[in-house]
Chain A
């Protein structure tokens, strides 16, 4: 069964460093998402991406964050200058279409630890 994959599974970085989290969505999916979950808290939406553009972003997704689909398979989340409060699990998701009748499939997540 096709699945969303994410690398690395765990990333440790120092405050102020740039990190890039990588995702390979399901191959025929057109919509891509990033969510994050701070330890012990809810899963929070960050951004959705379609047709090489951001279609929606949350207030968490400020200028320090960016997303890119550099080729036909990868979808990346970049944090330009990490802060301690960026420590969280980051989940990538994809869906075949964007309408709410289409389910989103999530990857296993990348645990980001900022020290």
Chain B
């Protein structure tokens, strides 16, 4: 699976949009981009995933660049409860493995 690069940490003001970048420059055409988050000491929580097109759900939006080499997770109105480590993970569609490989992620601190 392709490797991802994320900033170690970011701050965001409560009520503002949080934009979390992820670089996956070696992504293949058959690999999905997944985002999970982990609130302190809890289990990872699925947020959103996409292949080529931008995606939106009740939690967030995922913007994938046209060349698919990077993506941005957008939390439109961040709250204090969104403080967590956010993981960008690339997974191959139909691959022999379905495990998730977690990196170190981005620690998002939402400030009051």
Contact = CB atoms under 8 A, between A and B. Distances in A.
Q: Do A and B come from one complex?
A: yes
Interface of A: 4, 31, 33, 35, 42-45, 48, 55-56, 58, 89, 91, 93, 95, 98-101, 103-109
Contacts, number: 62
Given A100-B93, A103-B46, A45 B32 contact: no
Interface stretch (B4-12, B17-25, B73-81, B97-105): B97-105
Q: Is the interface of A mostly helix, strand, loop or mixed?
A: strand
Counting chain B residues whose Cβ lies within 8 A of the other chain, the interface size class is 20 to 34
Contacts of A93: 43-44
Given A108-B42, A109-B42, A103 B34 contact: yes
A33 B44 CA distance: 13
Contacts of A99: 93-94, 98
